[in-house]
Amino acid sequence: MSKNQNDFVKEITNIDDDFARWYTDIVIKAELADYTDTKGCIAIRPYGYAIWENIQEYTDKKFKETGIQNTYFPVLIPENLLNKEKDHIEGFAPEVAWVTQAGENNLEERLCIRPTSETIISTLYSKWLTSWKDLPFLYNQWCNVLRWEKETKPFLRSREFLWQEGHTIHETAEEAKERTLQMLEVYADVSEKLLAIPVIKGKKTETEKFAGADETYTIESMMHDGKALQAGTSHYFGQNFSKPFDIKFQNREGKTEYAYQTSFGSSTRLIGSLIMAHGDNRGLKLPPRVAPIQVVVVPIAMHKEGVKEKAEELANNLKEKFRVQLDDRDQYSPGYKFNHWEMKGVPLRIELGPRDIENGKCILARRDNQEKIEVELCEVTTKVNEVLEKIQESMFNACLERMNEKTTIAHNMDEFKSSMDENQGFVKSMWCGSAECEEKIREITGAKSRCMPFEQENLGDTCVCCGKHANKMVVWGRQY
């Protein structure tokens, strides 16, 4: 490695020395986001936003395949609406920001800057719904929200962030519950097939469910350091919002009935998950399907006759099928360019020099494992496609292997604490269902219940904490 390359890599903290600092270094150095003069708020830079656009495009397409339509609702919500659902407002009260003044005039009623939109959407649903024939309402909005977070960690914790929030109402409880689980499957698809991050699907405990929900379902992913990241949630509200907001309709028998409601959401935290699940000491590492640039073409000895022109021709041909960048900057060396694009996580680099052109070949360099492959120029499009698919699969398998290695079983608190301290990751154990045991586990180990997985395993019949009868297996973990 040349001196310049050494210096380039030194600009990020070693991933195993200080994971939190490494994460921040990647965000800044890979030009994903930056801190701003507005305390608690970040600016998403073009490269980071391009990742979000790819997530948004993929997710939006999946939503629309299930019948979801996009809408938009106000960012300001009157206080009286927020107060209509008691559990909901109590859950969000500490994070709510209020608008109390416009110009020189005090407002007659405080306006909440939306932390989430159940209330404003519900009051309009009550206006728009009359008959069972109108149902279902399958709506989603892509927007920003504001929650007064105490800490700022780009993409993971900030006061303002981007997300989507889906809100549907249905004729029956069964239909609403089916929709709740259907949207969870969409999130699992996004995480596993687009982001190459495996997930555990399951139900949240009563303590961890969304404020105002009857049931909350989640997908949980594991990061490089073994901590969990909640990658998407889907909630069944039953009639908890439809009754206070008067969302009712004339049913098939001509009687008045309250609708059944759901909500589901994911956010720019997914960009944080990409960084922490895949990144390494060379920087960001992006799966090809979500990468803003899938292939970068770097000409070698660009000053020599025909090299730049051939590189341009190659890049233009590849652009018909892939997201391609030609790096023909003449003020930087090839070594600098290699490190620059590795830092930004571009999955595949193509190196093309005079000797390569003479031999009718080029070099493909994989970002995920540093492998270099010599290919014929006449076969480059086919080979690039094959290699990108292999990278996508390899990155998913690497995360899955890590999750399996860092998932342990505990039958008592000694085993639980030892596993969490020595091999931070997921711990599977039986649980009695008591909130007191759940809190005690958190106090002793720092781990919270992630979910009760759909795929239950019989690990015994006693609670890991109190030793009483238990019939539910829970996955626990420290979290972001």
6-26 confidence digits (pLDDT tens) = 444 557 999 999 999 999 999
Closest CA to 199 of 270, 262, 264: 270
List, for residues 46-61, the tens digit of each pLDDT value. Answer: 999 999 999 999 999 9
Q: What pLDDT is stored for residue 1 in this prediction?
A: 38
Band of pLDDT at residue 4, cut at 50, 70 and 90: very low
Tell me the domains of the chain and their CATH numbers.
14-278 (3.30.930.10), 295-390 (3.40.50.800), 407-477 (3.30.110.30)
By CB atoms closer than 10 A (0-12, 13-18, 19+), residue 354 is middle
Instruction: Say how many Å lie between the first and final Cα of the chain, rounded.
Output: 35
- Range 373-385 average pLDDT: 97
Average pLDDT, the chain: 95
Pairing type for strands 76-78 and 97-102 reads unpaired
Residue written as token pair 């994989």: 366
Place of tokens 């395993």: 457
Q: How confident is the model at residue 3 (pLDDT cuts 50, 70, 90)?
A: very low
Cα four-point dihedral sign 275, 277, 283, 287: negative
- Cβ distance 192 to 290 under 8 Å? no
The answer to whether residues 339 and 9 touch, using CB atoms and an 8 Å cutoff, is yes
The torsion angles phi and psi of 211, rounded to 5 degrees, stand at -60, 115
Contact between 208 and 448 (Cβ < 8 Å): yes
The mean pLDDT of 306-326, rounded to a whole number, is 97
Residue of 240, 256, 291, 246 lying closest to 47 (CA atoms) = 291
- CA distances, 125 to each of 43, 74, 75, 235, 246 (Å): 34, 14, 17, 18, 9
Asked if pLDDT for residue 5 goes beyond 60, the answer is no
Does residue 403 have a pLDDT over 90?
yes
As beta bridge partners, residue 460 has: none
Q: Is the pLDDT of residue 391 over 90?
A: yes
Of the candidates 97, 98, 121, 122, the residue with the CA atom closest to the CA atom of residue 110: 98
Tell me: pLDDT of 446 over 60: yes
- CB-based contact 266:188 (threshold 8 Å): no
Q: Is the pLDDT of residue 127 over 50?
A: yes
Peptide linkage before 136 cis (omega within 30 of 0): yes
Confidence band of 2 (pLDDT split at 50, 70, 90): very low
Question: Nearest to residue 167, comparing CAs of 93, 245, 235, 244?
Answer: 235
**Confidence class for position 92, pLDDT limits 50, 70, 90:** confident
Give the three-state DSSP class for 47: helix
Backbone angle region of 467, left / alpha / beta, with phi > 0 → left and psi within -120 to 50 → alpha: left
**Position with higher pLDDT, 86 vs 205:** 205
**CA dist., res. 259 & res. 246, Å (int):** 9
Residue 180: name the closest of 135, 219, 220, 216 by CA: 216
Largest distance between two CA atoms of the chain: 82
Q: Examine the pLDDT at 411 and tell me if it is beyond 90.
A: yes
- Residue 185 confidence (pLDDT): 98
> Looking at the DSSP assignment, which residues form a beta bridge with residue 222?
228
Q: Which two tokens stand for residue 50?
A: 């391009």
**Helical axes 46-65 vs 269-278, angle rounded to 10°:** 110
CA 121 and chain centroid, separation: 24
Q: H-helix or E-strand containing 249?
A: strand 248-250
